[in-house]
Structure 1
């Protein structure tokens, strides 16, 4: 905090006053949606967190929403570049403290969020059902990746030394939230465990399972449960740090 002495005019007199303000700008929160999703659901969460005192950015990656026509050709490299551009846009906001950036990623967005930490400073990282992909075929269109092979890969425990995203998690030294869905048929427990086990340098690691939930949180009660989890964590970690 910093204090600034001011004089307040009242008629012909002046009162002494002090303005107490944050020494820096607001924390920034970047939301990364999943494959086949959009910013629409994240926007509701972003509005709630913005009301608590942060500046949030949601966006649609290429291959989604208005650019859905690119779905068959967009690669992971393309979407990682989208994420980097969005991050750079967020920190360019004049009221954002660039040293206080949180990233919230779901599924494919969680995977990209882990990669982002190796390329840009991130202080807080929230991953909901983070998807896991082999490093191979990085420039192959995402839609063309072998689904059966992905399912098999996610049902094994993956060593961080063999995976770029998990290697990023191993080096990450901020605060982490990982949320798993109990009945997830796309990102099973071992895939999530590969992530949680990789965070050996994290300042703090919070892990929660949403009971009865599927991957997409199709039931409203499960969406509310996740929203409550995320809001509590942001209050404690992000806003509490100020």
Structure 2
């Protein structure tokens, strides 16, 4: 027996939220903890190398030495900002590693099952006309799902108004199914989900780590080379 449009939509909403709140954050943390240090080092060295090259270029153009450092700061401000942002994300991943909480398999099944049931009762796709109370309640339910808080979700489920009816409109469901399928496609083809293949494939994992190590080693050699050229100029 084929599932109804209503069931298909609910399952897609659940898949979408599971990707956003559970699967992708874990992939991102695993990726950052596996490669973040090397990527930060490679990016930092790349910035340093490009700054030295640019310093030499500006010097040869006759720029005032007293102004070159300020010019470089301005030119590389965005790159340095991106590096600092990435380093901050790595720090957060390290913090989460020490505080990560996992539900037991049975409790995780209960969390997923209860959330799927509550999608029918309060998700806007099934309840387009909601009171402020219902909107706030569902936001708290989503937060409980995101944080694996089964106890809170069970408590919140009790607060759902009695006699809540589910919206029925196949045309609306078809449109929503198409939209959510697109959102799921977008997630699976962007960061961090697109790093899953590297994490899951031992050969790709090792090859990428070797590639990063080669980049770092090569950048150190180039920085030394260009650093000597700069010393000769000034």
The two structures have a TM-score, normalised by structure 2, of 0.24
Query: Which structure shows the higher helix fraction?
Result: 2
Specify which structure has the bigger relative contact order, considering alpha-carbon pairs within 8 angstroms and separated by 6 or more residues: 2
Bigger Rg, which one? 2
Query: Which structure shows the higher strand fraction?
Result: 1
